[in-house]
Amino acid sequence: MNFSKGALAASAVFAMCCFAAGARGQTSPVSVELAAPTCQTSLYDPRMPSRQMPTPQANEAGVTVSEFICKATATGRTYMQFHSGPDVVVGVHVESVRIALGLNVNEWVEYSAGAKVFSHEDGHALIAEHFYSRSDQIAQAIGQHLIGTDFFGSGPDAEAAANDALNVAAREVTQQYMGRVRNPSELVQNLYDRITAHGVNPIEEVDAIEMALHEMGKL
C-alpha cells in the first residue's frame, strides 16, 4: 500500500518566491537541483503502531509513504502597476526560475512480516524512484515554459504585490510538477497494488511494476 504526498497538499511550504530586479549574470534562466532520493524502512508493532505512519488497510502488514518535494523560486521584472482600492496591483514578467527537487520514501512494515511483504513495499519505493529519476527533465521543461510569462499580484505596496505575483508563478511550477510526476506515480502505485493484490499474489515485484507501467501507458 502506498501513500503519495507532495506540494499540492502544502503549497505554502513547497512554493516560495522572491522579488528581484532582473537575472543578471546567469548562464541559464532555469536551474534544477535534483537531490538524491532517500528511503527508510521502519518496523512497527500492529498493536501499537507509530503515530507517524498512516493506517494500513485491513489485513495489510505494510504501508509506504512517498513524499515528492518541489521547491520553486521565481524572479522577474515589474512591467506595470496600478492602484485598485487600497492595494497596488502589478504585472511581473518572469525572468528566472530555480527549482529544488527531492523524494523521501518511508516504508512501514510489521516486525513479524515475511520477506514477501518487504519485497512488496520495496516495489512501491522503486516505482516512486522510477518517476523521480527523470523528474529533473520535467521540471526543466516546466520552468522554461514559464520564462517570459506574465503574472499579476496585489499587495499593500509594489514589492509585496510583486512577491504575490511571483508566488503565483512558483505555485504554478509545483502544481504542474506534481501533475506530471507525483500523480502518474500514484496511478502506477495503485495499479501495482491491484496486480499484486497488495502483495498477496505470487508474482515477482519487478514483473508487476512492468505490468503496471504498461497498463498506465494504455490509459
Q: What is the pLDDT of residues 78-110, one digit of tens each?
A: 999 898 888 999 999 999 999 999 999 999 999
Residues composing the chain: 219
Q: What is the pLDDT of residues 122-140, one digit of tens each?
A: 999 999 999 999 999 999 9
> Among 125, 86, 134, 123, which residue's Cα sits nearest to residue 104?
125
Angle between helices 158-177 and 135-146 (to 10 degrees): 140
- The domain segmentation of the chain, as residue ranges, is 2-218
Q: What is the pLDDT of residues 150-203, one digit of tens each?
A: 999 999 999 999 999 999 999 999 999 999 999 999 999 999 999 999 988 999
Asked if 174 and 72 touch (Cβ cutoff 8 Å), the reply is yes
pTM: 0.85
Q: What are the residues whose beta carbons fall under 8 Å from the beta carbon of 210, sequence distance 6 or more?
A: none
